[in-house]
């Protein structure tokens, strides 16, 4: 009986498993700066001030900008890596590619040193 359950569970995971199921369509990212209190703009939209923790949709955003009065703005690109969990299922792979779950932001935290103007 245990063997049959194991086979069924394995089949289910391999057939329907995906990055969406295992790691979701969003990812928690951490943003910080020195000095703290810098505005964090993601693709031009202000999301808060450092230190900041956000849950962002995967593979949707590209540019982070740190802005603080009397300091030079810093721009950082959000890099993504392929999430190999996507390869677990053939149907789910295309779903993950469409909804962004096939990608993860790397690194998961961003820290910048701001320089005075």
Residue 21 — pLDDT band, cuts 50, 70, 90? very low
3-class DSSP state of 100: coil
Helix spans in 1-117 (H):
2-16, 19-23, 90-99
pTM: 0.67
Q: Half-sphere exposure of residue 21, counting CA atoms within 13 Å on the CB side?
A: 16
- Domain residue ranges of the chain, discontinuous segments joined by +: 2-113
pLDDT one-digit tens code per residue, 79-90: 777 655 544 444
């Amino acid at each position: 009986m245990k063997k049959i359950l194991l086979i069924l569970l394995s089949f289910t995971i391999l057939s329907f498993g995906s990055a969406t199921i295992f790691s979701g369509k969003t990812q928690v990212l951490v943003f910080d700066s020195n000095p703290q209190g810098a505005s964090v703009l993601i693709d031009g939209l202000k999301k808060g001030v450092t230190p900041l923790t956000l849950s962002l949709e995967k593979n949707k955003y590209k540019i982070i900008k740190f802005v603080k009065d009397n300091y030079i703005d810093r721009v950082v690109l959000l890099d993504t890596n392929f999430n190999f969990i996507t390869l677990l299922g053939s149907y789910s792979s295309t779903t993950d590619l469409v909804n962004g779950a096939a990608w993860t932001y790397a690194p998961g935290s961003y820290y910048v040193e701001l320089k005075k103007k």
